[in-house]
Structure 1
Amino acid sequence: MDAPVPELAARAARCAEPLRAANDLLLASHIDADGLTSAGIASTALERAGIAHDVVFEKQLDRDAVERYAAADYDTVFFTDFGSGQLDVITEYDAFTPVIADHHQPAEADIEYHLNPLLEGLDGGSELSGAGASYCIARALGAGRENVNNRNLAALAVVGAVGDMQVVEGELVGANAAIVAEGVDAGVLDASKDLAVFGTQTRPLPKLLAYASDVPIPGITGDRNGALRFLDGLDADLREDGEWKTWAALDTEERRTIVSALVQRAVRTGVDTSEVEALIGTTYTLLGEEPGSELRDASEFSTLLNATARYDRAAVGLAVCRGERGAPLDAARELLREHRRTLATGVNVVREVGVEREEHVQWFHAGDRLPETVVGIVAGMAMGEDGVDAGVPIIAFATKAGAEGSVDGNPDVKVSMRGTPRLVERGLDLSAVASEAAAAVGGDGGGHEVAAGATVPAGRESNFVAAADAAVGDQLNS
């Protein structure tokens, strides 16, 4: 049975060995969409292999969490979507055998059972996500077992990669692309060129176009009435029983009509040619899910999962990843509705507190008016707002809930940073910026090139901004 990512095949096979031999196994994972799909893939593969296990989720893997695992008498702990960056802490404990499937920058320590694309020269920010790393081990767990090759878990790995913002110029690349090919071959995934905007499965057409901000089109983006006028002016029947259709419900000719008109409008209103081309990208459809549902599209699926995790309901997201529907899916949908209400409030908060501009970055401080778990998403949304420069990285601060005091007894501050793929092409690496700027003020940071985060002591925000501004300037001007 061929490995999905040949470079990682030997590591995956080694990592599978202690998992098969475990008597008391704990699966520990991160809580974002990539972490939830990582756990879903791992848990499903373990169950299929007859390996009993418990599952826990963490917002952040730290010493306290590792100490809890060591004290709980597990002989093996399987870390997914984190662990590499905490190797120095994990290796201090010999109470359990650690197995790690991750894609973040490893710390300076070595363990025997460690799968990470960076260790084999693959890019963990764009070529393989945590879910992809878990998928490699899942395939190894299924090797040699009749009718259990775990290839049908490729669809979840794609959801994780999309949720981790690993789409490059409209499609997944590298090892992610190899996993896509496996999913297509297994009949669980379709990858085809289509309109590359969020909400094609669930949003009515006017809402779909008005909310599609990746490629802003004057008179349509952010303008519900403008989107209605645009659609009403097309020579196509886009309603059914008096209601606007979704994109997924359109036939090929209706889609072609809308795309052609969108391109013409974009060109006529001065949208850059490269941005016009970005209207079309590869979409990833989960063929086993109900058409018109959030689970049918990889991007919408990942958003649903993010909503469960960000409101401390990771178990709901895991249940959905493991194929449970009914009550878990209903709960996830309600959390998504709550999430959207929070985000709408968040954009208003940004308008009220205002965005400050430095030479190379811009920033805002939400204080305790936004949950730390959503401030990064709000920062990304704010980049489409009036008065916010979409071509400049944005930094968002929020007070960490329940954090211990730092400066003057105040809680620590959560930092979220967002850029754009175009800035990354110019040399932006927010992971390096977050790490450098946080270290300069006594905090800790990291992440990915296009999105990163940090925790810093309260009262040091202006120093963090200054350090980040200098670091971004160095990257973009080098």
Structure 2
Amino acid sequence: MAGPVPELEDRARECAERLCAADRVLLASHIDADGLTSAAIAAQALERAAIPFETVFEKQLDEDAIAAIAATDYDTVLFTDFGSGQLDVIGKYEDAGDFTPIIADHHQPADRDTEYHLNPLLVGINGASELSGAGASYVLARALADVSDSSPAAATDGGAVADPAGTTARADNRDLAALAVVGAVGDMQAAGGELHGANEAIVAEGVEAGVLETGKDLALYGKQTRPLPKLLEYATDVHIPGVSNDTNGALRFLDGLDLELKRDGEWRRWADLSGEEKQTVASALVRKAVSSGVPAAKIDELVGTAYVLSEEPVGTELRDASEFSTLLNATARYERADVGLGVCLGNRDGALERARQLLADHRRNLSNGIDLVTREGTTEEAHVQWFDAGDEIRETIVGIVAGMAMGNQGISRSKPIIAFAAKNDDELKVSARGTHSLVRQGLDLSVVMGEASRAVGGDGGGHDVAAGATIPSEQKGGFVKHADELVGEQLS
């Protein structure tokens, strides 16, 4: 059975065969939206293949975390959404016979390889924009369904069968494509409003499996859950004067439309509108943008590709890939990866309600953090800008805050932004964010974070547009100097 990414087929099959040969597996994954969906995909694939497993999450796969994994009595460890960048450390334990690593990741690999290594970068596919960690897990899940004698693949037509957990599954695991798309969107891979590269093949499989719907739609966050006035007021990626960040302006704009925008005294949501009603609102919004002098290129960004999880209820966060990923991030950033995993695995009672509570807290913390950074501003170097949040912004969300603050008053989008936050008494968490425009000019924050952190006794990595590191607290100045020089070289 051909997989969604032919270039990775052989590697995926080798990894799947090794998993099937294991008595049991320790599944270790990252805690962000991409990591949670990676773990959920792998967990369901392992369960359907009747492979016993246990799941653990790590905020950072450092030497201590890997040592703890090695100290368990698991002989086979499946790493999802991390592991490639830590292969130099993992390799020491592999050589010592502590465990056999199987890696499904998309981050820049360390200078070492291992036998069971599934990573798009190894076959020339961009791991920052064309395949996420969840995508790599999905490729593995598809191969696992194919090689496992005990998976639901006993249904030879690839149709729907009964999953061991009692849910509806597909024999070929294509139903897991929806989670892979949530992971990719959560990993900011929908550049220009849509997914590209190998991600497109996964989308196609999800559509074919009946778990995804796609189409052009208004590219605003909150189309499933926000009342229409709030949807427009909070839509700031494309700033429309008189509507964006303007409560009364958004209300006036909607009142001027000849549509039934309230029912039973309540504002309707975008998801409640008919196709014709959506077209009316979108056309009026474009006209408002044009009349307000918004550049044509920015107006084009008002429309993008929507990724809808067709089996989820209309009007919930789970229906929209972007809202789903934000919900997952809210669980992970507050040390409740178990809640996020529960939601991914179909827990629509306790886990979903707890996730919504965490999301409300997350939004409040993000808003406070963005206000703080905008008010205090950044320190500008020749090629980067930075701020130190100390302990006023959680180290798990400081990178999100930095990215969302870019473009606010006094915070440039023409320079990468570096954020510091206290990790503990001795270390700083460093998060860096750029723009896709800067990446096209040569920016690679994965290299910057990795080299600058190691130069001052820390470690780091990530993607070209977003990366992170941990450094000794007293080395902040030296780190900024190295990072500024590296960015200057990349963009010169």
TM-score, with length taken from structure 1: 0.95
Once structures 1 and 2 are overlaid, which stretch shifts more, 212-221 or 196-205? 212-221
- 8 Å contact kept, 1:38–1:80: yes
Count how many residue pairs are aligned between Structure 1 and Structure 2: 469
The aligned runs of 1:65-464 (5 Å cut-off) are 65-93=65-93, 94-143=97-146, 145-147=153-155, 148-400=171-423, 403=424, 410-464=425-479
- 8 Å contact kept, 1:418–1:450: yes
Please state whether the residue corresponding to 1:288 is helix, strand or coil.
Answer: coil
C-alpha distance in 2, partners of 1:426/1:270? 27
Please state whether the residue corresponding to 1:212 is helix, strand or coil.
Answer: coil
Once structures 1 and 2 are overlaid, which stretch shifts more, 254-263 or 186-195? 254-263
C-alpha distance in 1, partners of 2:429/2:373? 16
Q: Deviations over 1:268-298 (max 9, x none)?
A: 2222221111111111000010100000000
- Please report how far the alpha carbon of residue 381 of structure 1 lies from its aligned counterpart in structure 2 after TM superposition: 1.9
- 2:161 aligns with none
C-alpha distance in 2, partners of 1:423/1:66? 34
- Please report how far the alpha carbon of residue 202 of structure 1 lies from its aligned counterpart in structure 2 after TM superposition: 0.5
- 8 Å contact kept, 1:353–1:366: no
C-alpha distance in 1, partners of 2:418/2:23? 45
Please state whether the residue corresponding to 2:109 is helix, strand or coil.
Answer: coil
- 8 Å contact kept, 1:28–1:56: yes
- 8 Å contact kept, 1:415–1:456: yes
- 1:22 aligns with 22
User: Percent of aligned pairs with the same residue?
Assistant: 64
- Please report how far the alpha carbon of residue 30 of structure 1 lies from its aligned counterpart in structure 2 after TM superposition: 0.4
| Consecutive unaligned residues in structure 2, runs of 5 or more | 148-152, 156-170
Please state whether the residue corresponding to 1:311 is helix, strand or coil.
Answer: coil
- Please report how far the alpha carbon of residue 223 of structure 1 lies from its aligned counterpart in structure 2 after TM superposition: 1.6
C-alpha distance in 1, partners of 2:480/2:45? 43
- Please report how far the alpha carbon of residue 369 of structure 1 lies from its aligned counterpart in structure 2 after TM superposition: 0.8
- 1:406 aligns with none
- 1:407 aligns with none
C-alpha distance in 2, partners of 1:455/1:351? 24
- Please report how far the alpha carbon of residue 359 of structure 1 lies from its aligned counterpart in structure 2 after TM superposition: 2.9
C-alpha distance in 1, partners of 2:202/2:88? 30
- Please report how far the alpha carbon of residue 197 of structure 1 lies from its aligned counterpart in structure 2 after TM superposition: 1.4
| Consecutive unaligned residues in structure 1, runs of 5 or more | 404-409
- Please report how far the alpha carbon of residue 423 of structure 1 lies from its aligned counterpart in structure 2 after TM superposition: 2.2
Please state whether the residue corresponding to 2:260 is helix, strand or coil.
Answer: coil
Structure 1 residues 21, 442: closer, same or farther in 2, change over 3 A? same
- 8 Å contact kept, 2:374–2:410: no
- 2:48 aligns with 48
- 8 Å contact kept, 1:213–1:384: no
Quick one: which amino acid aligns to residue 100 of structure 1? I
- 1:58 aligns with 58
C-alpha distance in 2, partners of 1:382/1:132? 28
Quick one: which amino acid aligns to residue 249 of structure 1? D
Quick one: which amino acid aligns to residue 117 of structure 2? H
- Please report how far the alpha carbon of residue 76 of structure 1 lies from its aligned counterpart in structure 2 after TM superposition: 0.5
Q: Deviations over 1:244-276 (max 9, x none)?
A: 211111111221122112222222222222111
- Please report how far the alpha carbon of residue 380 of structure 1 lies from its aligned counterpart in structure 2 after TM superposition: 1.6
TM-score, with length taken from structure 2: 0.92
Please state whether the residue corresponding to 1:416 is helix, strand or coil.
Answer: strand
C-alpha distance in 2, partners of 1:448/1:141? 27
C-alpha distance in 1, partners of 2:58/2:48? 24
Structure 1 residues 199, 108: closer, same or farther in 2, change over 3 A? same
Structure 1 residues 360, 269: closer, same or farther in 2, change over 3 A? farther
- Please report how far the alpha carbon of residue 384 of structure 1 lies from its aligned counterpart in structure 2 after TM superposition: 4.0
- 1:12 aligns with 12
Please state whether the residue corresponding to 1:85 is helix, strand or coil.
Answer: coil
- Please report how far the alpha carbon of residue 208 of structure 1 lies from its aligned counterpart in structure 2 after TM superposition: 1.1
Structure 1 residues 228, 466: closer, same or farther in 2, change over 3 A? farther
Structure 1 residues 268, 473: closer, same or farther in 2, change over 3 A? farther
Structure 1 residues 392, 229: closer, same or farther in 2, change over 3 A? farther
Q: Deviations over 1:209-245 (max 9, x none)?
A: 1211211122222222221122222232222222221
- Counterpart check, 1:39 vs 2:55: no
- 1:473 aligns with 488
Once structures 1 and 2 are overlaid, which stretch shifts more, 37-46 or 167-176? 167-176
Once structures 1 and 2 are overlaid, which stretch shifts more, 37-46 or 146-155? 146-155
Structure 1 residues 234, 427: closer, same or farther in 2, change over 3 A? farther
Quick one: which amino acid aligns to residue 177 of structure 1? E
- 8 Å contact kept, 2:317–2:324: yes
Please state whether the residue corresponding to 2:317 is helix, strand or coil.
Answer: coil
Once structures 1 and 2 are overlaid, which stretch shifts more, 445-454 or 288-297? 445-454
C-alpha distance in 2, partners of 1:207/1:422? 29
C-alpha distance in 2, partners of 1:391/1:249? 38
Quick one: which amino acid aligns to residue 25 of structure 2? L
C-alpha distance in 2, partners of 1:221/1:357? 28
C-alpha distance in 2, partners of 1:390/1:246? 31
- Please report how far the alpha carbon of residue 352 of structure 1 lies from its aligned counterpart in structure 2 after TM superposition: 4.4
- Cα RMSD (Å) of the superposition? 1.4
Once structures 1 and 2 are overlaid, which stretch shifts more, 180-189 or 258-267? 258-267
Structure 1 residues 411, 110: closer, same or farther in 2, change over 3 A? same
C-alpha distance in 2, partners of 1:440/1:135? 36
